[in-house]
Structure 1
Amino acid sequence: MAKFKTRARAVDMLGRQQIANVSTAISELFKNAHDAYADHAEVDYFRSDNLLVIRDDGIGMTKADFENRWLVLGTESKYTAQNRSIDTYRPSGKAERAVMGEKGIGRLAIGLLGEQVLVLTRAQRADGLHDLVMCFIHWGLFEIPVINLDEIEIPIRVIREDKLPSNIEVGSLVQEFKKNIELLERRNIDYDFGHIVKDLDDFQVDPENLQSFLSGISLAESSGTHFYIAPANHTILAEIELDKSNNKKDFSKYLLGFCNSVFLENTSPPIKASFRYWPSDSDNDDLLSDGEFFTVNELNNADHRVFGEIDHYGQFRGSIRIYENVTEDYIIPWKESGGKLTDCGPFDIELGFVHGNQRESRLDPADWKRLSDKLNLIGGIYVYRDRIRILPYGNPDVDWLEIELRRTKSASYYVFSHRLIFGAVKLSRQNNSSLKEKAGREGFQQDKAYRQLKNILMNIFNQLAADFFREGGERAEYFDARKKELEKLELARRKREKQVSTKRKNLSASLDGFFQRTQQGIPNLEIESIRSHVKHRMDSAAKITDPDEAAVALLDAEKEANRRLSELQESYRIARPRGVGLSRQLQRDWEAYSTETQRLESEIFRPFSEEITRQLGNVATQARIYIDQRKRLQSLIKELADSEKKSVRNEAGKLNNTAEDTRKAATKVARDAIHELQNTISKVEAEFASKDFNGLSPEQTEQVRKDFETRIETVSKKNTESLSRIRDVLTSVAENMTTDPDITQIDMMEAMDEELETLREQVDTDADLVQLGLAVAVINHEFEAAIKGVRRSLRELRPWADLNSNLAPLYQEIRNNFDHLDGHLNLFTPLQRRLYRKPIEIKGSDILHYVKTLFDVRLKRHDVKLSATENFTDMVAHGFPSTLYPVFVNIIDNAIFWLKDMQGEKQIKLDSDGKSFFISNTGPGIHARDYESVFEQGFSRKPGGRGLGLFISRKALRKEGMDINIVPSDSPAGVTFKLTWKDE
């Protein structure tokens, strides 16, 4: 008699060689976690150590489970030969889950993730929590062709304490595995085990230490299964870095959407998966975070949405939304059923479709761009069985329904594009048991059941295109009309945006040039040049002996001075573009420009004009030249009147020309509309005259009539609507001119455009504020809870430190560091508004103590001196600490930032005049242009600044009847903020 023998490499062939890539291998372990009733499956990849840690909080395995199921090939651990589920433990309160893993591929696929794995598992059963089981495997042994499977021994340890093993205990287990290798070498196997032995010596994993670092899921006091894989497969890092560099998601696309919570689901997913990439030990990036996959909101906002049920005979019944128009109880028959039940079984489908051209989409440009980018990366039709994703369906490079193949034949006929669809087919093991997955997790076996599934879905897409999107389709009228409307709106928006963008750009450039000239003191230099020239001319006039000629020369000098001054003033005058809303930054710059022009007028231009008049009088008096003031004023007034008359006539001429051009354009549009309709009528009449009606049935005759009438009505309707729109615009302009010519449509458009720009900017900033506030609240809560635990542990540790001289210094160091952290936690206390129902007395000395405690380390590090006057420490104000303290924190934080890289004195000073607080620093000054801008939301001169601190500070203060402003100063260095209170 003979028996089959199994080589160890069979494990490698059944596992590692069956899996397409590392992402699929991780997905298999996620499925195992799902089957183990885990709530979370988490992966952490540490680049510095090339370590992969995979953890779940499922029911885990006992030692017997591990030996008799996990380490057994072809086990019946989940299904019996009759395809009945084995009675396994299910935690109370959890719904029964369909089993995803059937062939044991998941555990064998670990070999693809890395050469060595440390397995930790702790079981939860009806009798309670079991002991921790630890195992170590080097998959390299399963690649050796001359070893039988029964020659490999896997070391297992049971840890009875409620703790994780340390690196010492792990090292001891690895040494046991090493003994098995030594035994194989003694059997004279012709193989070099050197690289395996080296790997074992290099394996350094400390689960106890890693748990304290990662926190979250733990086997110390709860169940689950954890894998520590090192060194990890080098392709993991390569693919993650490639994803980061080109943003193609070739790695994460296999893991995104692992559990369905979007398509036809309204309950929380049974398991949440995450993959954290640690480029360094201080920060991480979750590749599977919320928002990386599609969301219900995106599905609701898609241009078109389809969802429905396919019954046992392959017939679709569901709801179709084309833009905003919904068709309920829509049926798509599948003619190939032949009245027989399908092998694939009944299933559900839901999908969203977004147009590739933004002008055809109902989404606004920003949302369309964001969703289109996501579709390019992960768009497609996914497949879920009992809410768990079946690979590789849904990946952009897997067009399993041949949507793109059909589209290449005719885009207008087949409409749908694989990269513009996101949706899912929803299966269940109960209804779709005939659909079998391939051993390598590369989709379903292509048998009759799969072919039926594919054929039914292809039929749905073809019929949807025929009914709703093709020209002449039974239900395509709404789509065609709405698409044309959207295209028209988008073209108008782009045209206006192009015009507006150019105007904003030109205005911004003009304002920048204006501020550059004023900051460099150019107006004063130009006035000085005019002054010098005029003085020279007046002095020359005074030397003329003929009194009449001298008087004329003086008046000419004055005229030239006024002309050049007028030209100079005009060079600093900027026309605000009409009908264009300004962004917040441009609004701030425009307001600063208005303020600065008033200053130029009051401090430079007007004084110079008055100076010219005085100088004229002085020169005339000294030279005894008679100036006829009547003639002088008459000449000046006439010159101004001629200039203004010319300006008004110029604008009036332009208006007349525009009105004439508009009249001609309107007349031409009306004439063309009449001509087009007349030509259509003539063609219809000619065709009617040549039409042979002999032999036509009444129905055919009626159809001919309808066709002719439709052609005439279509042209008439199009031109009527076009002429009506133009008439409405002109009527509105005319009415507005007669009722209130000072407020035109352009003014109203400008106001709406400006409001729109403000709202756009506000949305992003408000989202940042909300996230920031939530994050601070969560951090404070978690920090406070953790501190309590540490405080309790320190109290328990102190008696040991008092009795152990070696432990005492370590305890004291921990205690000092803890007190430092605890002090920072206490800094949150004044910021909690709920602790203060009424305003309280706030002393300057309390504020000083608070900010010194908070910034002590930074002040010393950057050599910045923080001081306060006696007036400040004695000052007492009434208010909420949660309002006042953050203002000081924000201003001092900013001051340190600007002072840290400066040379010379670095000082922050707190002062008071008994009514207000003053916060000064010796850093760079703030230009008068920005005195109000720094308090605007989003404004910041700090590199990478959010522009929120001072905005929030002023808003919070004003809510409590206080305010904050900058004390004006001509000095280029130093700035002082002033906090004021309303009168009690």
Structure 2
Amino acid sequence: MKRSGFKTRARTVDHLGREQVADCPTAISELWKNAFDAYATDVILDIFDEKSPIAVVSDNGHGMNLSEFQDRWLVIGTESKATGDKVPKADRKGLQERVKQGQKGIGRLSCANLGPILLLVSKRSGEKFVVSLVDWRLFENPFLNLSDIFFPTVEVSGLEHAFERLPSMIEELVQNIEPNSRPVLDDSDTEYDDANRIAEAWNDFDNLPERSGGVTSKSIVKSIRELSFSFHHLSGWAVAQGTADSGTALLVSGINYDLQSQLLSPPFKQSVARTRKNFRETLASFLDPFVDADDQTLPDYFSDFSYQVRIWKDDVSKTIVGREIGISRRDVSQLEHCIIGSVDIEGVFRGRIKAWGKWLPDQVKILPATDVQIPTRADTRLGNFELFIAAMEFDYKNSTHEKAEHDRFREIAELYAGFMIFRDGLRVLPYGRSGDDFFEIDDRRSRHAGREFWNHRRMFGRIGITRAGNPNLKDKAGREGVIDNRAAKALKDVVVNLLMQSARKYFGTDAPIRKELLPDVVANKKQARDAEARRKLSDKNKKTFARNLKEGLEALPDLLGRLECAAKDLTIKNDADVADKQELISAFRDQLPPATIPGAPRSMSPRQQENYSAYRSQASQARNLYASVSRAVDDEVERFRPSDPLSVLQSQVEKSRNRISARVNHWQKLVRTLQTDEFKRILDLSDQRKTLFKAEAEAVLQLFKAERETFSSASAKLTKIDRDISEQNEDIFEPYVRALEGLKESIDLEHLATHGMEELAEARVELERLNSLAQLGIAVEITGHDLQDFDDIIASGLRALPSELSQTKAVRDITLGYEGLTDQLRYLSPLRLSGIKIERWITGAEIQDYIHDFFAPSFKKNQIDFRATEIFRGFRVFDQPSRLFPVFINLVNNSIYWVGTSRSAERTILFDVNSEKIVVADSGPGVATEDIENLFKLFFTRKIQGGRGVGLYLAKANLVSGGHSISYARDDSNQLLAGANFVIDLNGAEFKNG
């Protein structure tokens, strides 16, 4: 019996490394995960723009010593990965234990994907540097055994010595290709036989008919000897900077196309732009950006682990990828659609859903499809996983976002959109990348885009799995997703069902919520467009007013001078003078300016006000002077007796006709020019709109002809294109037609619009004045009330002083100064209504403490028990204190009054939370049923004295301005106390419990 076994060729390493890893970003991700496993807190990829560009992957992990490099790094499939050996506590650098990301012990071979030559430098704390030089092209030779290849490795005490030893290491590395350059003792030397065999292997390699990239043994040797690694390439490494005492740096020469593309400057070719985009969007979310940053249970690496990619040009670095550059959960949580929750081992989703900016009140439960079988065996089951998705309506008219916000989210989506998978917080590739459709999102959209709402390019989100909870979801060797086993199939089935059901129930064209809410959204968008049109008209009117004011001020002095000159000689002496004088009056009338200029803005600069005042004064003077001259001419005509009256009248008619014709011709020419230009614009626009449909429809037909679309999906797409373009055309042309119809009826559209805007502006100003007056009244009431309490306290203290002390000059001065100061504060404090509007997190505890301090004397005086529950103290909301605090002040101020009028022995004001809504309750008499409808109306009050009816009105106005709401509790569930119970729904509030 013979013993047989596998023999390993050198090219096995090439298969496992360069050829196995999907692409460059995936390779970098693998190296970063190795740094993560080494308990690094910083991992950096530096790309140097030089004649021969260099890339460096560096970290500040625990590093390696010589024995670890030889016994672990150079061993393929190390046992530590397979057995899950824990990293010693000393190597964790005081960090929490991390879940190991490496599984197969081949991630280090990803280096080969970055470039052919590697200089590895590693250091353990308190030990020497390990330096090794590797050329991955040696493994491409199919005629060599793995044992034929070696790498020169040295230990040095300092980094500078590493580069001093580099020339000798280079020559040693060359021995892998030119072994005959080593001295040989005699023909019997075993190294002599190995040298001949290796030389023959490289000769056979050079003669291969399909040699990769034209690489030869001589070209490899040449590139090795031309290596340009230097100390400055490690300028970004924490160990070289002295900020860390351990870590690993991987210096790569001959970097690949993906890395070189990051150094190029625009304009880019299409392939370069695509490569850069894929590179950056893949690495941007290396660490899960969608975790809840406020979650106290998160591992520390979510705050302590940093990654970035920098490019270096002329010793200046620029970060192109990093945690600070990408997105976060807080960024995308502002989107109008959102799903947050988890899926249990039975495939059931439980969580919350937001549609068109409104969170559904109840928890949502989505069951797996009936035809989906969830595996339950330990070696096939699918564990729990977290889900977070945020999305938007890409068609702006259907979106609740403002235009600027909508545009910003679309730009973010171009870079960071995608549906990803993260394991223990680190990205699992290729999920979420362009071209990956594991969950068949794009495939379903191609069949029915409206119903199948989700789209890779307009959704942000992730599935969060853990190695402990999902041990059966294992990576493929090439990091091209998870192995296609029962657990992976179950994950796909569960998520596909979840996406389909959520689209049909809440977001897609078949969703009842969409049909209910979309009309209001579209109507609001139309109002916004109308407001924008009014703004444009207002801007146009301002510019027209400024131009007319300038021209009027320039023309009026000359007109006044000519009128004054004409007034001196109005005598009619003969028949010809009659027509001349009357023509002169007509010419002056045509030049006469209006008493006011249309479109005058309500607010002007002091200079503009001064100019407009001067204009009106001069215009009035000109019109008065004209009237005087006109009357004088009329008197002269009445006095004069022409010799040939008919000829005089005919001459007057002729001159007037010529003048009128000249002016009308001027307007006709102007209108013709405008109509010609506008008609040409409409023709071009019409052609564009028709061509748009033709182009989009033709694209669908081509896909159908190429059998990339089914008949039903192509028909659905054509229907959607027809509907969308028809709606857009209606928005473009219908208002234009209506405007022309108005002109046909001689309706002055600009005057109507301007007049309407002026009336609206006046109404808004009046409303602002009324609101300010009401707020001033509330401030006077509250401030005066509290100052009276403090006045009583201080006055009581002064009266309690001993008589021999109270009569001293010092105490009399204090009393006099206090009384004067109180009077001034009573008068001035309500005027302090301005200030910087700062938004920040406000907690319930802060609100309770503020109200307690504010009303402490009132509570004590009225024997009121003011308290707040722990759930109230634990909630928080992001808003302006100046917006929220007055709301609670007004509510408590009312409660103090009404609790004081109650005959009940219980005197309580309570802050609580019910169904994630704030409840402000008191034990007073409550509000009569017939008064509830008027409760928040301005000036409505039932107080016998001291009430002005503005507190609740302003409370509601403040809340509405922040996107919140307030109502009076009518149902028993929110009536926490026997009196008045107000329910406040704070948009974006976060609650720890309940």
> What is the TM-score normalised by the length of structure 2?
0.54
- Residue 103 of structure 1 aligns with which residue? 104
- Residue 196 of structure 1 aligns with which residue? 220
User: Which residue, out of 282, 286, 295, partners 1:258?
Assistant: 286
Letter in 2 for 1:447: N
Given that 1:41 and 1:56 are in contact with CA atoms closer than 8 Å, whether structure 2 keeps it comes out as yes
Letter in 2 for 1:173: M
User: Which residue, out of 438, 447, 451, partners 1:400?
Assistant: 438
Deviations 1:727-751 (A, max 9, x none): xxxxxxxxxxxxxx99943434589
- Residue 55 of structure 2 aligns with which residue? 52
Given that 2:81 and 2:105 are in contact with CA atoms closer than 8 Å, whether structure 1 keeps it comes out as no
Are residues 505 and 48 of structure 1, via their aligned partners in 2, closer, same or farther at CA, if it must alter by over 3 Å?
Answer: farther
TM superposition shift of 1:2: 5.8
Are residues 568 and 408 of structure 1, via their aligned partners in 2, closer, same or farther at CA, if it must alter by over 3 Å?
Answer: same
Inter-partner Cα distance in structure 2 for 1:442 and 1:58:
26
- Which secondary structure state, in structure 1, belongs to the residue aligned with residue 454 of structure 2? coil
- Which secondary structure state, in structure 2, belongs to the residue aligned with residue 441 of structure 1? coil
Are residues 454 and 415 of structure 1, via their aligned partners in 2, closer, same or farther at CA, if it must alter by over 3 Å?
Answer: same
Inter-partner Cα distance in structure 1 for 2:428 and 2:359:
33
Given that 2:326 and 2:416 are in contact with CA atoms closer than 8 Å, whether structure 1 keeps it comes out as no
TM superposition shift of 1:211: 4.4
Given that 1:170 and 1:206 are in contact with CA atoms closer than 8 Å, whether structure 2 keeps it comes out as no
User: Which residue, out of 51, 64, 67, partners 2:67?
Assistant: 64
TM superposition shift of 1:169: 4.2
- Which secondary structure state, in structure 1, belongs to the residue aligned with residue 178 of structure 2? helix
Are residues 219 and 452 of structure 1, via their aligned partners in 2, closer, same or farther at CA, if it must alter by over 3 Å?
Answer: farther
- Which secondary structure state, in structure 2, belongs to the residue aligned with residue 227 of structure 1? strand
- Residue 745 of structure 1 aligns with which residue? 760
- Which secondary structure state, in structure 2, belongs to the residue aligned with residue 250 of structure 1? helix
Are residues 485 and 193 of structure 1, via their aligned partners in 2, closer, same or farther at CA, if it must alter by over 3 Å?
Answer: same
Are residues 569 and 351 of structure 1, via their aligned partners in 2, closer, same or farther at CA, if it must alter by over 3 Å?
Answer: same
The answer on 1:333 being equivalent to 2:363 is: no
Given that 1:261 and 1:269 are in contact with CA atoms closer than 8 Å, whether structure 2 keeps it comes out as no
- Which secondary structure state, in structure 2, belongs to the residue aligned with residue 18 of structure 1? coil
The answer on 1:225 being equivalent to 2:251 is: no
- Which secondary structure state, in structure 2, belongs to the residue aligned with residue 370 of structure 1? helix
- Which secondary structure state, in structure 1, belongs to the residue aligned with residue 92 of structure 2? coil
Given that 2:342 and 2:351 are in contact with CA atoms closer than 8 Å, whether structure 1 keeps it comes out as yes
Task: Compare 180-189 and 210-219 and name the one that shifted more.
Answer: 210-219
Describe how 1:364-763 pairs up with structure 2 within 5 A: 364-469=402-507, 476=512, 478-497=513-532, 499-504=533-538, 506-507=540-541, 510=544, 513=547, 524=554, 526=555, 530=559, 563=589, 566-567=592-593, 573=597, 575-576=599-600, 593-598=608-613, 744-749=759-764
Inter-partner Cα distance in structure 1 for 2:510 and 2:12:
60
Given that 1:263 and 1:423 are in contact with CA atoms closer than 8 Å, whether structure 2 keeps it comes out as no
- Residue 157 of structure 2 aligns with which residue? 160
Inter-partner Cα distance in structure 2 for 1:312 and 1:114:
43
TM superposition shift of 1:89: 5.3
Inter-partner Cα distance in structure 1 for 2:110 and 2:358:
47
The answer on 1:136 being equivalent to 2:164 is: no
Aligned residues: 608
- Residue 21 of structure 2 aligns with which residue? 19
- Which secondary structure state, in structure 1, belongs to the residue aligned with residue 520 of structure 2? helix
User: Which residue, out of 57, 60, 75, partners 2:78?
Assistant: 75
Task: Compare 330-339 and 454-463 and name the one that shifted more.
Answer: 330-339
Inter-partner Cα distance in structure 1 for 2:548 and 2:240:
61
- Which secondary structure state, in structure 1, belongs to the residue aligned with residue 128 of structure 2? strand
Given that 1:307 and 1:318 are in contact with CA atoms closer than 8 Å, whether structure 2 keeps it comes out as yes
Deviations 1:566-608 (A, max 9, x none): 33887xx452479xxxxxxxx78x7664444446667x87898
- Residue 912 of structure 1 aligns with which residue? none
Letter in 1 for 2:291: F
User: Which residue, out of 251, 254, 257, partners 1:234?
Assistant: 257
- Residue 38 of structure 1 aligns with which residue? 40
The answer on 1:284 being equivalent to 2:311 is: no
Deviations 1:792-851 (A, max 9, x none): xxxxxxxxxxxxxxxxxxxxxxxxxxxxxxxxxxxxxxxxxxxxxxxxxxxxxxxxxxxx
Q: Which runs of 5+ in 2 are unaligned?
A: 182-194, 207-215, 634-638, 641-755, 770-835, 841-994
Deviations 1:544-575 (A, max 9, x none): 768x999x8998699568646633887xx452
Are residues 338 and 430 of structure 1, via their aligned partners in 2, closer, same or farther at CA, if it must alter by over 3 Å?
Answer: closer
Inter-partner Cα distance in structure 2 for 1:749 and 1:396:
49
- Residue 230 of structure 2 aligns with which residue? 206
Given that 2:441 and 2:455 are in contact with CA atoms closer than 8 Å, whether structure 1 keeps it comes out as yes
Given that 1:122 and 1:219 are in contact with CA atoms closer than 8 Å, whether structure 2 keeps it comes out as no
Letter in 1 for 2:312: W
Letter in 2 for 1:271: F
Letter in 1 for 2:410: S
Inter-partner Cα distance in structure 2 for 1:564 and 1:216:
86
- Residue 118 of structure 2 aligns with which residue? 117
Given that 1:382 and 1:389 are in contact with CA atoms closer than 8 Å, whether structure 2 keeps it comes out as yes
- Residue 315 of structure 1 aligns with which residue? 348
- Residue 357 of structure 1 aligns with which residue? 395
> What is the TM-score normalised by the length of structure 1?
0.54
Inter-partner Cα distance in structure 2 for 1:111 and 1:457:
35
Inter-partner Cα distance in structure 1 for 2:504 and 2:556:
76
Given that 2:306 and 2:323 are in contact with CA atoms closer than 8 Å, whether structure 1 keeps it comes out as no
Are residues 38 and 527 of structure 1, via their aligned partners in 2, closer, same or farther at CA, if it must alter by over 3 Å?
Answer: same
TM superposition shift of 1:539: 7.9
Are residues 164 and 27 of structure 1, via their aligned partners in 2, closer, same or farther at CA, if it must alter by over 3 Å?
Answer: farther
TM superposition shift of 1:364: 2.2
Letter in 2 for 1:747: E
Given that 1:278 and 1:284 are in contact with CA atoms closer than 8 Å, whether structure 2 keeps it comes out as yes
Letter in 2 for 1:174: I
Deviations 1:373-408 (A, max 9, x none): 333443222111111110001113212111222233
Given that 2:156 and 2:162 are in contact with CA atoms closer than 8 Å, whether structure 1 keeps it comes out as no
- Which secondary structure state, in structure 1, belongs to the residue aligned with residue 522 of structure 2? helix
Are residues 240 and 394 of structure 1, via their aligned partners in 2, closer, same or farther at CA, if it must alter by over 3 Å?
Answer: farther
- Which secondary structure state, in structure 2, belongs to the residue aligned with residue 483 of structure 1? helix
Deviations 1:649-677 (A, max 9, x none): xxxxxxxxxxxxxxxxxxxxxxxxxxxxx
Letter in 1 for 2:106: I
Inter-partner Cα distance in structure 2 for 1:514 and 1:122:
78
- Residue 909 of structure 1 aligns with which residue? none
TM superposition shift of 1:179: 4.5
- Residue 384 of structure 2 aligns with which residue? 346
Identity value in percent = 25
Given that 1:348 and 1:427 are in contact with CA atoms closer than 8 Å, whether structure 2 keeps it comes out as yes
Are residues 230 and 413 of structure 1, via their aligned partners in 2, closer, same or farther at CA, if it must alter by over 3 Å?
Answer: same
User: Which residue, out of 328, 333, 336, partners 1:303?
Assistant: 336
Given that 1:538 and 1:554 are in contact with CA atoms closer than 8 Å, whether structure 2 keeps it comes out as no
Given that 2:308 and 2:319 are in contact with CA atoms closer than 8 Å, whether structure 1 keeps it comes out as no
- Which secondary structure state, in structure 2, belongs to the residue aligned with residue 284 of structure 1? strand
RMSD in angstroms over aligned alpha carbons? 4.5
Inter-partner Cα distance in structure 2 for 1:136 and 1:79:
27
Q: Which runs of 5+ in 1 are unaligned?
A: 579-586, 620-625, 628-740, 755-765, 771-984
TM superposition shift of 1:611: 10
